[in-house]
Amino acid sequence: NAGVMQNPRHLVRRRGQEARLRCSPMKGHSHVYWYRQLPEEGLKFMVYLQKENIIDESGMPKERFSAEFPKEGPSILRIQQVVRGDSAAYFCASQGGPNEQFFGPGTRLTVL
């Protein structure tokens, strides 16, 4: 019973490049959440998606950030023209019903 999968686990980008983070939810789960975590800080909500729909993107910066969860394939968090301040751990969580979320191992983004 595979858990939530994220790739890549580590991603290094230079300023101005694009970062693309992928998340495959647990089998049967149709809700995906993206969070960002800075060192020694808590999880900050970014966006909540269901298949083909963005339900809440209130935690995501209006510029450079976008997310999708297509009918087929993983959810993708895209960061365009990355800056040093985007360096963080990005976690995806999936949810099958109204209750607990299950997290992936995260993608650690480093912007040089």
Alpha-carbon span 61 to 56, nearest angstrom: 12
Least distance (Å) from other proteins to the CB of residue 34? 12
Question: Do residues 81 and 63 lie in contact, with contact meaning Cβ atoms separated by under 8 Å?
Answer: no
Alpha-carbon span 105 to 71, nearest angstrom: 23
Least distance (Å) from other proteins to the CB of residue 15? 24
Q: Which residues bind other proteins (CB under 8 A)?
A: 4, 6, 31, 33, 35, 41-43, 45, 48, 55-56, 91, 95, 98-106, 108
Least distance (Å) from other proteins to the CB of residue 35? 8
